[in-house]
Amino acid sequence: MQKPVVGIIANFFLINDQYPAQATGRMNIDAIAEVAGAVPLIIPSLPNSITIEDIMSICDGFLFTGGRPNVHPEEYGHQPTAAHGEFDRDRDRIVLPLIRACVDAGQPVLGVCRGFQEFNVAMGGTLHPEIRDLPGRMNHRMPPDGTLEEKFEHRHNVKMNAGSPFNRIFGTDTVLVNSLHGQGVEEAGQRVIIEGHAPDGTPEAISIKDAPGFALAVQWHPEYNANADPVSRPLFEAFGHALVNWKNNSSLAAE
């Protein structure tokens, strides 16, 4: 049987600061191909070039990646400020309805960093523009200096709720993760279940209530060193199992 296909949501990128492109990090591709066991397919965040229906028919699931631009605050009823940073309105217009459509259909979806925040906004939640400014919160942003290994090194624990689906995936209720984000969940969306928190109370893992399929997201970056990391690997493996189940059931329904 053919491998399932995973649509990896791309970000706007300028080559040499002038040539517009759509791109994703190599580590996203490797995590899907090597750990989830699926075929990675980069999906451009260009609503004038693709439709939700078309990409859902081509792909068996989707990885909603991190990215420097943030979800535009107008998507959750807030006014933009300097603290909100850069935006990618084309990506907003693709991912938010795509998340809702996949959740409703039971099509497997995994959110990472910005993807985690997109899950919350898609379900009606809101975001803090800069969580390090909140009383009692740590700085979750990427260290400005150092090697790639130093930027993605483990920085804090995440404690999962009792009975969380993440507990079953990880085999424990506490995991050690990296941290490379500035924004965070303010109010959880209507169907969003906060499944895990950082020591400072920042939400770090979510599921979608009553989702018929795999619908999980994490605020950290499990795609880094996914093949070897004891937290990243089981997460992408669980996503891979869900993709195979979806593909098998879709094939049976088509017969």
Residue 67 pLDDT grade (very low, low, confident, very high; cuts 50, 70, 90): confident
- Cα(61)–Cα(131) distance, integer angstroms: 30
Q: Which of 40-49, 73-82, 163-172 has the lowest mean pLDDT?
A: 73-82
pLDDT in tens, 192-244: 999 999 999 999 999 999 999 999 999 999 999 999 999 999 999 999 999 99
Residue 138 pLDDT grade (very low, low, confident, very high; cuts 50, 70, 90): confident
Which amino acid, one-letter code, is at 120? N
How confident is the model at residue 26, as a pLDDT?
Answer: 96
Residue with tokens 């920042």: 202
The domain limits of the chain are: 5-254
The percentage of the chain sitting over the pLDDT mark of 90, rounded to a whole number, equals 78
Write down the mean pLDDT value for the chain.
93
Selected from 3.20.20.140, 3.40.50.880, 1.10.10.10, 1.20.120.1200, the CATH number assigned to the domain covering 5-254 reads: 3.40.50.880
pLDDT reading at 63 higher than 90: yes
Question: pTM for the full model?
Answer: 0.95
pLDDT reading at 43 higher than 90: yes
How confident is the model at residue 204, as a pLDDT?
Answer: 97
Residues in the chain: 255
